[in-house]
A = this chain, B = another copy of it.
Amino acid sequence: MGADKSCLAGVRVLDLSQFEAGPSCTEALAWLGAEVVKVENPRGGDQGRGISLGNIEGTDSHYFLMLNANKKSLAVNLKAAEGVALVKRLAQSADVFVENFAPGAIERLGLDYPSIRAVNPGIVYAQVKGFGEGSPYAGNLAFDMIAQACGGVMSVTGMPDGPPVKPGPTFGDTGTGMLLAISILGALYRRRETGEGQLLQVAMQDAMLHYMRIAFATQAKNGYTPARRAGAASVSGQNAPCGIYPCRPGGPNDYVYIYTSRGNPEHWRRLLAVIGREDLVDDPRFATGLARSQHAAELDAIIGEWTRGRDKHEAMRVIGAAGVPAGAVLDTLELHDDPSFEQRRIMQVMRHPVAGGVKMPAWPVRHDGAPPQVQPAPLLGEHTADVLARWLDLPPPEFGALEASGVVGTKQHARTR
């Protein structure tokens, strides 16, 4: 067992979350070695199991697999009072409890913080909501894109003269899950000393502000006018040249990002050398950072002329090697196929008993040289018997009765699609 896996060895997480914001949080804990037990409905389980199910029949979605690696699954019917009672018993031996149900649902189940705290005062109880308690929208439903709209993200994404744009990655979900994971880990650290639990709550809208701080700083600098969309440039200010430049052969992602910092004029001079335009070094239109900003369109034309003659990989290689920040716009297939990620274990293959081998991004932080090992996401109910036996020391007859009455489901009995 590597250093990575044992970071949270012995930590028990009772995970009532579904979709992405909650599961991304608990998966990070699982990758660091916590025992994360998903509590799932025996009829279908986490709704994420069925999202965008594609060409593989009888298994879970790739969406689910990627968000639930290294976890366990316990199938229990929360519509039965015995099911709820069972979860409360499990909570007594858990260190962390996580939920991201719609507003009001956890209270209706009787598994809210006061109820859980009553049986385990030392628990770290963590919740993700769309809008915060006390917000006028606390009762509203939220998804990733709602958080990105209401958290300011869309207002600063897109072209200066165009409409707001939604970023493609699910920053609203995973971006929130990561912040909650940090607070859970902080609370666990403290708990080792004090034994005391905590209530942790994060709202997806609020979490977005954390990723928007440069836009807020820019707004403050500009006398409190709203931060504007800046296209490919930085929200915080003008650096020219700086942008997404077209490359050969002109496909949808044949572009290279080139950045020259006003703080380091060497970037500009190095770039001129790379594109063979040293003749412009003394051109007054481009002599200072301010002048370059004022002539950004001319600069973009000059640089685009050079980039159009190269493919993006060559452009990145040549410009990057000259000490100018440059990055090819890579698509998911290029990233998937790049051998460097697999060699460095940033991409790993999940060996799933039904889906087979699924290559996916692993936890990207290397611990003593390597990221944690990806283990398969659980089948629905795969660990019901195991967890009840180990966490509760449940006698076999009692387990048999729960199973017979449908309160719990096992891999064999839970309904898979």
Contact = CB atoms under 8 A, between A and B. Distances in A.
A370 B22 CA distance: 20
Contacts of A169: 152-153, 156-157, 167, 171, 208, 211-212, 214-215, 235
A176 to B, nearest CB: 8
A259 B132 CA distance: 20
Contact of A170 (B11, B147, B211): B211
Contacts of A368: 198-199
A51 interface: yes
Given A152-B335, A253-B226, A164 B244 contact: yes
Q: Which 5 A-B pairs have the closest CB atoms?
A: A156-B168, A54-B221, A185-B185, A149-B327, A7-B186
Contact of A55 (B55, B203, B223, B324): B223
A196 interface: yes
Interface string A357-382: 01011011111110000000000000
Interface stretch (A275-283, A288-296, A338-346, A383-391): A338-346
A5 to B, nearest CB: 10
A58 interface: no
A147 B327 contact: yes
B66 A187 contact: no
Contacts of A141: 320, 323-325
Contact of A66 (B181, B216, B333): B216
15 contacts: A7-B187, A33-B186, A51-B263, A62-B218, A145-B242, A149-B257, A155-B330, A164-B252, A169-B208, A178-B178, A182-B185, A185-B185, A209-B364, A226-B334, A229-B252
Interface in A33-75: 33, 47, 50-55, 61-63, 65-67
A168 B8 contact: no
Given A150-B330, A200-B366, A209-B341, 14 more contacts: A3-B187, A7-B190, A52-B236, A62-B217, A141-B325, A143-B325, A146-B325, A155-B329, A156-B332, A164-B329, A178-B179, A185-B186, A203-B346, A226-B334
Contacts of A207: 364
Given A154-B257, A182-B28, A182-B185, A170 B214 contact: yes
A416 interface: no
A94 interface: no
Contacts of A253: 155, 164, 226
